[in-house]
Structure 1
Amino acid sequence: MMKQYKEVKEKYRDAILFFRLGDFYEMFFDDAIIASKELEIALTQRDAGGDKKAPMCGVPYHVADVYIAKLVERGYKVAICEQLEDPSKAKGLVKRDVIRVVTPGTIIDTNVLDEKSNNYLVSIYMDDFGAGLSYVDSSTGEMYTTEYLRDKDNVYDFILDELGKILPSEIICNESFTQNKKIIKTIENKLRPYINVYKGDIIHKHDWIDIIVKHFNVENLEVLGLKDRIYSIISTGKLIDYLYSTQKDSLEHINRLQFYNPADYMILDINTRENLEIHHTIMGREKKGALIWVLDKTSTAMGGRLLKNWLEQPLLDIKEIEKRQEIVELFVNNPILMDEVKECLKKIYDLERLIGKISYGNCNARDLCSLKISIGIIPKLKDILLKSNDKLLVELGMKIDTLEDIYDLIDKSIVDDPPISVREGGLIKLGYDEELDVLKKASIDGKKWLADLEAEERKKTGIKSLKIGFNKKTGYFFEVTKANLDLVPDYFIRKQTLSNSERFYTEPLKEIEMKILGAEERIVDLEYNIFNDIRIKVKEQTNRIQRVSRIISEIDVLNAFGQVAYKYDYVRPKLNNKGIINIVEGRHPVVEQTIVDNVFVPNDTYIGSKDNRVQIITGPNMAGKSTYMRQVAIITLLAQVGSFVPAKEADISIVDRIFTRIGAADNLSQGESTFMVEMKEVSNIVKNATENSLVILDEVGRGTSTYDGLSIAWALVEYIAKKIKAKTLFATHYHELVELENTIEGVKNLTILVEEKGEEIIFLRKIVEGSTNKSYGIEVAKLAGIDQEIIDRANEVLFQIEQKQELINISKPREYNRQLNILDYKKDYFIEKINNLDVLRLTPIEALNILYELKEEAKKLRERA
């Protein structure tokens, strides 16, 4: 047996081998040492030939999935080596082989997976000319692919943005992709997938084409939209090849490949997703407090997953968005219909993952019953849609296949409350299979024969306590206590002696035993075979079930949008391509749900016209600048997803990308400071933003010195306003920037109203046109609970600075005062240098060079001081 183990292990050296021995999966040698530690189970030993002992540990087969999931979660592959024949019937060593390799991206156990999240496996192929990216959810059968054909620097951004959307559990990639160590570190830190690098040259494209064509059973790649898409062909071919190498079985439910172009959707880069807190909060990474927390009123697991996908890919086509809006509006205007649909949806199980389990062959009879229950709801749902009198809902209803033949098959064959195991009988209803019915009658009759024989022998022998018993080891027997042994007749044949009794059998009992046990064994085998036949018949209808599940998912998401809109008073936004975003009394959808004892203050937004493209927003910390800017971005995103929005009115111009630079988080693990990270994000915005983009910038420049930061912020606003012309919200404490409203077309000043009551301030949270030259930093510090002595000293210092008086009692006063004097002396030089600049003719590179010269001059002055 150990020789057999070693032969199998040699083929799967990179995995922990679960080796089936009877009712346990055993692990040996290094696998046992690792597993015992990770799973906190006992480590023992087993003879390994001669005087050698092999470390060993094991887990019961019926709970193995739990242990496998723990190991995979901790980054291990697990190879499952199963017994391929009944040990009781095997001649010699039981045949064993690996039936499946479980990796983070190939888990299909629904008890382990988050029901409302996909579990994606991603395949990446990259070279100097482009990249292909394909991904699949093995549990649902969804498969997608895309590619990028540009320079190598941008291809990493493309892949990172896509991975941020997909959130894969596992990535398989070629070595070329891993050459950029910083990108790999970013992926590992932000997304934390299992990364599997395959080595060596890629095989010829025709081999990948053959793999794809064979799997999808198509004549050519044109049918799949992959003609001449070489990078998608390679990444998809490798993905399918990897699936077959790990799953070792049917992949029939993975029967649909969708090629997509990210440019067909609103693009959200990885930073924007984080900053807008779409799926989880920045602090704590929790669902509560994120956008999905408010929106997810879906009733089915598959609807929950589709909602996440929609939020990752807002639409650009107004007609497609309006189709969604019309159904949402119908639900909002007809809450009774909305509730009727919801009640149906709540009773539908996860059809996508059920058919995935059925296709893989690891389902049980209860899964088939769950499928039957779900299918049983579909006719009622279809009827509700057809009677809605809405064109779009009726169209959806007409597309729904009620799957009545599948329902009838399961209903006639599988008992209503089957056992979990499919190998112990009790699965199939009477009347479904004639041979099975005969065997079951024999089993039932046999039990009557036993009762009759027991009564007959009790009467003949006079042993009142005589009983017929049974166990798997000895079969059926008469049990006689020692007190009654003198009454045992000669035809009782001794079978077993116990401390207080003896067991016997008779020829009639042996005959009955053979009939009963033969029938029961055949019943179990026959029921298992019948169950598999039913499973295969259902699997053959995978396409039909998947089509219905997609329609139901879509209805579920639109119904959820309707519930949110109805409950929280959202409005249907108008859509335009004129570049204007106009929101009346907009609200932040999450913040308004989390405010305690306060009413959220709505704000208007108007941006995008020729004289109002870049808005400079000033005001104190905590006043609501960041909330307002996020609010505008989220309302825009929701509008393009097809949802209603939290506002009194909204007219949203289609946006091709949303960019955000919010917050200041160091990237120390990659040796990058706050300012470096900020500048890289700004660089990304400048390179990729268009006139149709929405840009959110919060306190750009605060990661460096005041003069450097102000200069960069100033130059950035100019460049966006003049060159890019993107709709931009720019919150800042550099009050000097408000002067740009008077010098650059398209710049507009906004501020947040603050009410002063003596020494106290009240944040009114209202955005109005205008500006402020006060930051209220000391007041905010007081609200935060800073010691009063510090507050008093801060007010004193602030007064001195504002009055241009000498600073007294500050650390190193001489050096500081001298520095101020030199700067005062030289200020005319800086003013003249800046005034002589022709900002309209400066290129970004020239501006940065001049900024560098000014910085160097300032550095020299500081050294001389």
Structure 2
Amino acid sequence: MSSTVTPMMAQYLEIKADHPDALLFYRMGDFYELFFDDAVAAAGALDIALTKRGKHLGDDIAMCGVPHHAAEGYFLTLIRKGHRVAVCEQLESPAEAKKRGYKSVVKRGVTRVVTPGTLTEDALLDARRHNFLAAYANVRGDGALAWVDISTGAFSVLECDVAGLGPELARLGPKEVLLSDAGEGDFGGIVEDAGAAVTVLGNAAFDSTSGEKRLNSVYSVKSLDGFGTFSRCEIAAMAAVVEYLDITQKGKLPLLRPPMREKRESAMQIDASTRKSLELTHGVNGGRSGSLLSVIDRTLTAAGARLLERRLSSPSRDLAQIGTRQDAVAWCLDRGDVAALLEDRLREVPDLDRALSRLSLDRGGPRDMTAVRSAIAQASLIADALPDDMPDVLAAAARDLTGQETLLALLDDALIAEPPILARDGGFIASGYDAELDEFRSLRDEGRSVIAGLQSQYVERTGVSALKIRHNNVLGYFVEVTATHSAKMLASPLSETFIHRQTTANQVRFTTVELSELETRILNAGGQCLEIEKRLYSALKDGILDQAPELFTLARALAEFDLSAALARLAREENWVRPVMTSEREFVITEGRHPVVEAALKPSGTPFVANDTDLSDEQIWLLTGPNMAGKSTYLRQNALIAVLAQMGAFVPAKAATIGIVSQIFSRVGASDDLSKGQSTFMVEMVETAAILNQADDRALVILDEIGRGTATYDGLSIAWATLEHLHEVNRCRALFATHYHEMTGLSDKLDGVANATVTVKEWEGDVIFLHEVKRGTADRSYGVQVARLAGLPKTVVDRAKVVLEALEKGEREGKQKAVIDDLPLFSAKPTPAPQKTAPSEVEARLKDVLPDDLSPKDALDLIYELRGLVKTSE
């Protein structure tokens, strides 16, 4: 290293060497500063000025900086753009550094590495969504996925083979996934496809033997058996998560709830493409808007919203569990008075989970403590108002709402109503809670009155009414009397108390031990107040964290009440019904509706056309009908009804009976995947192959326009064979939409296939979409009419009609090739406009009619008159 390197820059380079893959935010006073390549990268990503600061090895040092109080927003921007941030703080004050020598550099160190999966601050997170960090481990061919939300402490794991990794990542939507060195090449592409950042750890982090010891230490147990029976690969995945948290949080682990072991077979399986197609939690633009979640979310708390997303993303296959959830919704729907009270209280409930997490990581403050206080208080009020006759799931939750009265009393006594955000600002401890703090506050805020009180005591003791306590910058506080009384003050016994300090021409000044001590206390009172509040804050935090398991349970109970009440309100407002769930294969929907489309139509007043579905006897419906008639909407609405039913919600229908659905597959629409070099047709075939290879007899499959991306006969043959495979091999329930009318004949050959069509009506050359699904087949696709509605030039539409008629005639006569050869070449000349003719007698008569002026008798007379004119014209 060059001898010209300054001590500060030497310190920076040493710290940076330990974090080469992160942007180092180096704290200097009120700013975080970045240097060298970090500065260049950050300035470009944040759109801030790039400057210079001195030289290093003869070259200018690039530099940029951001204010420390606004750093969170910059962290978020950098994280979203794929960067990691190492936060380097000052670990001592400049005054403390100077004690080691005048030129000593303030000690600094990285206190945290900010990554996509380790965010905790409210400003960096969506309060209504989880922020998961996941790890995937593969031990001798067995795989497991573990995930944690450190902002809430939720920690889960499940066994997951490679084939299931993509669907599970799609369900969870983690922001960051940990892989081993050995696994990056095998699984990195799957993680990137899921939209998560890949972080590679050494293989040692995934070692199950040392990992088990690490987990035992985290939970202060001798064995994990108390939490469940975990496989070696599950322990490896969980251990990697804990190891990474230790690295990024610099040894300060967040509160982690005991790990929950999930089983894939307990939930409805939905793969990534199906989730995207159905827009369960993300709309077509990737955001929340336009998704099913956005339409059904009536929750009032952040925890309730996160629970809703978890349930929607992972519908249950357990009949008993679904039933208990439905019971809770039905009870809230029937007990509107209790539900209204619940809603009033729930609106006041803060995000208890995230407040606890921030406190555990020392990123919290007094307002997080008041959040805990408020949550406990509202939970207690809710518990007091609940009746005894509640369904099981709510009765269990109600029992978890109480038991924190001691902590509530402590926080009520200790904290003011509206404390500051940061503990270092002070002023959050209530008066009367700590006598020593009250005394120092009195000295700090009422120093003059305290001095005046002491002066009164001295006047009374000495009998000198002219005695004053004064202050100047040289002597500080002192007792002053006139020269007339000086002899008395200098004589015993007063001289033992009053110590002579100074004599002027007319005054004599004294001090006392008591006054000196009081002066010191007044001058130090502000600092003492902060120190005392800091100590009290630490004690309160420890008291809260001691109750963390019970508080997490309370938070889950509040979320359960919130979700049940929200789903009940949704059912009441949208006229949804409770579905009947069975273990058989029924799938009967009466007047089902698409919840998202219906919500979109509501502002315009346009009613949604409801439709029936019955896949009980004939498990496959072959759906025909024109484009724009609503086939895709109909397909999706049945899948969404199944998802809503199995998450425990009511459904948008007049009635519904649904046998448990094990899997949902949806292939409705597709596009090129340019990143993989796949055409639309290839994407379609890959997704179709996945369905045919995976769907079991309890699956629900919805397919739209299979085979349309290739030549007509190729596409028809593929669609035909696909339908036969679903019927004969998969034996699942399915809705199969197609434009290949030739396939409708399969209903005569396959017992489980029925034909259905979306009806339309032709009127004066136009096609009117009725959006009604009924048994039967469509006679044609009306593609030319739809093209005209889309605005194609009239010459193109007219030419298409000519070609269509010729091709249909040729197909009927078996001479299609000859017909094509005989077709005249296309002419772009516009068709001459029809010549205007003189209006008929009927038209002339109607032109003079004013309908609003007609009485019923006049209208009837007019009809007879017009009828006569028609006969005359004939």
Give TM-score scaled by structure 1 length: 0.83
Distance 1:469 1:260, change over 3 A: farther
Q: SS of 1:773's equivalent?
A: coil
Question: What is the rounded CA distance, in whole Å, between the counterparts of 2:359 and 2:183 in structure 1?
Answer: 36
Q: Gaps (5+ residues) in structure 1?
A: 150-154, 455-466, 478-489, 494-504, 820-865
1:129: Cα distance to partner?
A: 1.3
Distance 1:310 1:323, change over 3 A: same
Q: What is aligned with 1:95? A: 107
Q: Could you tell me whether the CA contact under 8 Å between 2:206 and 2:240 is conserved in 1? A: no
- Equivalent position amino acid for 2:616 in 1: G
Question: In 2, are the aligned partners of 1:311 and 1:641 still within 8 Å (CA)?
Answer: yes
Partner of 1:26: 33
Matched residues in 1 for 2:64 and 2:511: separation? 45
Q: 1:476 to 1:68 in 2, by over 3 A?
A: farther
Kindly provide the CA deviation profile for residues 535-579 of structure 1, in whole angstroms up to 9, marking residues without a partner as x: 111111110110011111111111111011000000111011220
The DSSP-based 3-state class of the residue aligned with 1:553 is helix
Q: 1:419 to 1:391 in 2, by over 3 A?
A: closer
In 1: Cα distance, 2:448 partner to 2:62 partner: 47
1:298-336 C-alpha deviation (Å, 9 max, x unpaired): 000011011110011111111111101111111112222
Secondary structure of the residue that 2:715 maps to in structure 1?
Answer: helix
**2:461 alignment partner in structure 1:** none
Q: Which residue of 2 aligns with 1:177?
A: 183
Which residue number corresponds to residue 600 of structure 1? 608
CA contact 1:316–1:655 (8 Å) conserved in 2:
yes
- Cα drift, residue 448 of structure 1: 3.5
**Aligned residue pairs, count:** 766
Answer yes or no: is the 8 Å Cα contact 2:810–2:819 preserved in 1.
no
Alignment partners' CA distance in 1, 2:812 and 2:281: 52
Cα–Cα, structure 1 residues 48 and 418, in superposed 2: closer, same or farther, change >3 Å? farther
Q: Deviations over 1:809-831 (max 9, x none)?
A: x9xx9996399xxxxxxxxxxxx
Cα 1:799–1:476 shift into 2, 3 Å: farther
Give the percent of matched residue pairs that are identical in Structure 1 and Structure 2: 36
Matched with 2:277 is 275
Aligned match for 1:138, one of 150, 154, 158: 150
Secondary structure at the counterpart of residue 803 of structure 1: helix
Q: Which has the larger radius of gyration?
A: 2
What is residue 136 of structure 2 aligned with on the other side? 124
User: Deviation per CA, 1:43-63, whole angstroms, max 9, x where unpaired?
Assistant: 333346786653333222222
8 Å contact from structure 1 (residues 127, 177) kept in 2: no
SS at match of 2:122: coil
Q: Deviations over 1:177-219 (max 9, x none)?
A: 3335xx745643x532221123456664311111112112222
- Partner amino acid for 2:130? N
Give the match for residue 548 of structure 1. 554
SS of residue in 1 equivalent to 2:402? coil
Where 1:14 maps in the other structure, the secondary structure is coil
Give the superposed CA RMSD. Answer: 3.1
CA, structure 1 residues 436+511, in 2 after alignment: closer, same or farther (shift >3 Å)?
closer
Q: Which amino acid aligns with 2:771?
A: R
Q: Which amino acid aligns with 2:442?
A: K
- Indicate conservation of the 8 Å contact 1:691/1:725, yes or no: yes
Which amino acid in structure 2 is aligned with residue 108 of structure 1? T
Does structure 2 retain, via aligned residues, the 8 Å contact 1:303–1:556? yes
The one-letter amino acid of 1:24's match is F
- Is 1:191 the equivalent of 2:199? no
- Counterpart in 2 of 1:251? 253
Matched, 1:158 2:161: no
Q: Distance between the aligned counterparts of 1:421 and 1:400, measured in 2?
A: 29
Task: Please tell me whether the aligned partners of residues 427 and 531 of structure 1 are also in contact (alpha carbons under 8 angstroms).
Answer: no
Q: 1:67 to 1:644 in 2, by over 3 A?
A: same
SS in 1 for 2:530: helix
Matched, 1:56 2:68: no
The answer for the alignment partner of 2:22 in structure 1 is: 15
Of residues 702, 716, 722 in structure 1, which corresponds to 2:722? Answer: 716
- For 1:205 and 1:533, how far apart are their aligned partners in 2? 37
Extract unaligned runs of 5+ from structure 2: 1-7, 456-469, 478-500, 824-874
- The one-character-per-residue Cα deviations of 1:520-545 (angstroms, maximum 9, x if unpaired) are 21111121121111111111111011
Partner letter of residue 86 of structure 1?
Answer: S
- Residue in 2 aligned with 1:854? none
Whether the 8 Å CA contact 1:105–1:170 is kept in 2: the answer is yes
| Residue in 1 that maps onto 2:662 | 656
* C-alpha distance after superposition, 1:199-254 (max 9, x if no partner): 45666431111111211222223223244x11111111111101011112433511
Residue 241 of structure 1 corresponds to: 243
Q: Go from structure 1 to structure 2 and tell me whether the alpha carbon gap of 1:161 and 1:50 turns closer, same or farther (over 3 Å shift).
A: closer
Q: Return the alpha-carbon distance in structure 1 between the equivalents of residues 50 and 735 of structure 2.
A: 61
- The one-letter code sitting in structure 2 at the alignment partner of 1:138 is I
* 2:702 aligned residue: 696
- 1:195-214 to 2 correspondence within 5 Å? 195-200=198-203, 204-214=207-217
Q: Which residue of 2 aligns with 1:218?
A: 221
Alignment of 1:375 onto 2:376? yes
CA distance in 1: counterparts of 2:811 and 2:573, whole angstroms: 58
Does structure 2 conserve the Cα–Cα contact (< 8 Å) formed by 1:328 and 1:559? yes
Deviation at 1:391, TM superposition (A): 5.5
> Does structure 2 conserve the Cα–Cα contact (< 8 Å) formed by 1:294 and 1:564?
no
Aligned residues of 1:450 and 1:468 also touching (Cα < 8 A): no
> Over residues 656-711 of structure 1, what are the superposed CA-to-partner deviations in whole Å (9 max), with x where a residue is unaligned?
00001110211121011111111111111111111110000000001111010000
Please list the CA deviations of residues 797-846 of structure 1 after superposition, one character each: whole Å capped at 9, or x if unmatched.
11111222999xx9xx9996399xxxxxxxxxxxxxxxxxxxxxxxxxxx
8 Å Cα contact 1:806/1:817 also seen in 2: no
Please state how far the C-alpha of 1:269 moved relative to its aligned partner. Answer: 0.5
SS of structure 1 residue aligned to 2:25: strand
Report 1:475-624 matches (<5 A). 514-595=520-601, 596-609=604-617, 612-624=618-630
Is residue 415 of structure 1 aligned with residue 416 of structure 2? yes
Task: Indicate if the aligned counterparts of 1:431 and 1:437 stay in contact, CA closer than 8 A.
Answer: yes
C-alpha distance in structure 1 between counterparts of 2:728 and 2:766, whole Å: 40
CA-CA distance at 1:176 after TM superposition: 3.9
Which residue number in structure 1 is paired with residue 645 of structure 2? 639
Per-residue Cα deviation, 1:464-505 (whole angstroms, up to 9, x for no partner): xxx9999xxx9999xxxxxxxxxxxx9999xxxxxxxxxxx9
Q: What are the Cα deviations for residues 563-596 of structure 1, in whole angstroms up to 9, with x where unaligned?
A: 1100000011101122011111111111111123
2:337: which partner in 1?
Answer: 336
Deviates more, 1:707-716 or 1:83-92: 83-92
Deviation at 1:350, TM superposition (A): 0.6
Alignment pair present for 1:108 and 2:120? yes
Task: Describe the SS at the equivalent of 2:661.
Answer: coil
Partner of 1:41: 48
1:718 positional shift: 0.9
CA distance in 2 between partners of 1:660 and 1:524 (Å):
61
Give, in whole Å, the separation in 2 of the partners of 1:670 and 1:184. Answer: 15
SS in structure 1 at match of 2:295: helix
State the shift of 1:16 in Å.
Answer: 1.4
SS at match of 1:223: helix
The 1:391/1:67 distance shift into structure 2, 3 A limit, reads closer
**In structure 2, what residue type is equivalent to 1:724?**
N
Deviation (angstroms), 1:629: 0.9
Q: Which amino acid aligns with 1:239?
A: V
Would you say the 8 A contact 1:294–1:590 is kept in 2? Answer: yes
Is 1:83 paired with 2:90? yes
* Counterpart residue identity of residue 301, structure 2: T
**Residues 434 and 707 from structure 1, CA distance in 2 versus in 1: closer, same or farther, beyond 3 angstroms?**
same
User: What is the Cα deviation at residue 11 of structure 1?
Assistant: 1.2
Mapped pair 1:680 → 2:686 = yes
Q: Distance in 2 between matches of 1:14 and 1:286?
A: 29
Q: State the Cα deviation string for residues 773-805 of structure 1 (Å, max 9, x = none).
A: 300101111111222121111111111112229
Summarize the Cα distance change of 1:730–1:391 in structure 2 as closer, same or farther, 3 Å threshold: closer
Q: Is the 8 A contact 2:177 2:198 kept in 1?
A: yes
* Superposition deviation, residue 67 in structure 1: 1.8
The yes-or-no answer on 1:629 pairing with 2:625 is no
Contact 2:441–2:525 (Cα < 8 Å) also in 1: yes
What is the rounded CA distance, in whole Å, between the counterparts of 2:306 and 2:425 in structure 1? Answer: 35
SS in 2 for 1:107: coil
Q: Does 1:706 align with 2:709?
A: no
Equivalent residue letter for 2:223 = N
